A and B are shown apart, each in its own frame.
Chain A
């Protein structure tokens, strides 16, 4: 059964899109990630124009983040003040990101930059996760105790000025790194169509030393608003949010996520992280191959010219 996507302007098989949404939803439920960083490359592999894939990906992340964050909101495992400071940076970053996005599109370099960013981020995160989880598995096999973490240890980040008190996180922290982190993630949201949780969560834990119990809730809080904002800005500047595609992905995604959560609870943490690391790496490698292999055709056509579209 085919369905016509009015914004992407092509007909697709609805079952493939449903399958994609469900698979990514399953994985996002299993690993507790938003899934935008998998959805966007998959859509690109399925010949959805990257412009549409990115904007629609951001819209899809809104749904999966809302679904994932409700339990955090209910339990109150989030720092609203910290989230708001992150969000201020995030909204500014998303605005700049959409501007960069439109500019790259006019230059004809958008597809390349999207692929490059994915290769760099997926490659780095994937290999870090894989090595870390393999090390943990080896340690577990030898019954070694975990090395002690020293969360109280301060690094250069904690010597910056403009300090603010975040009661919920029990932190006295400069606003500069928080806003900067939000800003960077905001740019990635609009250029790559991701929520950015896969970068934000490690950065919050290891760089800002935010207690792990509020990290996920707070990052989801900021992701909902930044992806919602990005969806609206993409819709008004690039007209590239495909609501039909987004709806199919969302519905399949949130259902898939529920089953993913159940499976995820049965697997062990290190195994889970190793699997996710492998998956992330595989998507990155696939994108990298496409960049390096001689394309079937060196030429491509775009309708319009001189920025009249």
Chain B
């Protein structure tokens, strides 16, 4: 018994020293790095000639370790995720020569739009399993099917299709060089909002990684609003649908009537 303990002792000591070596060069006080972010705007307006917009996110690292900075051990990932909703993916099959939707799968609570910028390839910053756990990155967003899932083996194909379609229509975007350090402790990220960006409250989320370890994260809301006439029309259509419908008919009556008066020959 004693022998065994004596044998274990050096192992325990060794482990202890190994742990003590981790905060290398960080000083005894172990000051935590801080992360502050700010955006170029807190509101993006969808105007009648909206063709998409760029959002610039500025960030600063406080108490950053000079040595770690010098060897590029800090990584920043910034995401902009849109309003969350269910999404239904449908698949077509040929039936009697005609392509029609046959299978579908609904994923719960996924962002309608998602834009991500990082200092380098996400998979180089973090291994895939922990990205999956964080739900960080287009390939790692949690896509859990709800309701009746007919064939479990199909889930992968539907997830893959969801990501591909979102990327191809521009609602999901990634830029693995979108975050640049402008000074040792200041960075700037550029995120693209496509022309078809959904309105609502979006969330800017910045993650700070140190040697592959998530040490800080910050988020800021970003409101994407339809402005002026667009907003009035959308609100009216959804909140006063009857009045909106009656008004649409009235516009049609006036247009039709007006034209026949203007072009009347007799």
The residues of A with any CB-CB pair to B shorter than 8 Å are 1-4, 6-7, 9-11, 59-60, 62-68, 70-71, 108-109, 112, 116, 228, 231-236, 239, 241, 243-244, 246-247, 250-251, 254-255, 257-258, 291-292, 294-295, 297-306, 308
Contact = CB atoms under 8 A, between A and B. Distances in A.
B49 A66 contact: no
Contacts of A241: 237, 244-245, 248
A243 B85 contact: no
Given A4-B230, A108-B101, A303-B112, 20 more contacts: A6-B233, A9-B196, A11-B49, A63-B251, A63-B259, A64-B256, A67-B257, A112-B100, A112-B101, A235-B241, A243-B247, A254-B256, A291-B98, A297-B164, A299-B89, A299-B158, A299-B164, A301-B87, A301-B88, A304-B86
Contacts of B108: 305
Nearest to A229: B249
Interface string B210-251: 000000000000000010011101100110011011111101
Given A1-B49, A6-B230, A304-B88, A232 B245 contact: yes
Contact of A232 (B112, B168, B249, B253): B249
Contact of A235 (B48, B94, B242, B256): B242
Nearest to B92: A298
B237 A67 contact: no
Contacts of B158: 299
Given A7-B233, A300-B89, A304-B86, A232 B48 contact: no
Interface in B59-113: 85-94, 97-101, 104, 106-108, 112
B51 to A, nearest CB: 6
Contacts of B242: 232, 235-236
B99 A62 contact: no
Interface string B198-216: 1000000000000000000
Nearest to A60: B252
B195 interface: yes
5 contacts: A2-B48, A2-B51, A241-B244, A254-B255, A305-B108
Contact of A65 (B49, B168, B256): B256
Contacts of A239: 237-238, 241
B264 to A, nearest CB: 9
Interface hub of A6, A251, A303 (most chain B Cβ within 10 A): A6
A243 B86 contact: no
B89 A301 contact: yes
A241 B89 CA distance: 25
Contacts of B253: 62-63, 66, 228
A86 B198 CA distance: 42
B9 to A, nearest CB: 60
Leading 5 A-B pairs by shortest Cβ distance: A66-B256, A235-B245, A305-B106, A254-B259, A232-B245
Nearest to A110: B101
A294 B161 CA distance: 16
Given A67-B260, A235-B237, A258-B259, A228 B249 contact: yes
Given A235-B244, A235-B248, A301-B166, A109 B101 contact: yes
A302 B86 CA distance: 9
A175 to B, nearest CB: 27
B48 A3 contact: yes
Contacts of B86: 303-306, 308
A59 B104 contact: no
A43 to B, nearest CB: 16
Contacts of A66: 252-253, 255-257, 260
Given A2-B49, A243-B233, A70 B257 contact: yes
Given A2-B51, A299-B90, A67 B244 contact: no
A7 B234 CA distance: 7
B252 A63 contact: yes
Contacts of A60: 252
Interface hub of A2, A10, A305 (most chain B Cβ within 10 A): A305
A110 B162 CA distance: 20
A299 B98 contact: no
A243 B244 contact: yes
B233 A306 contact: no
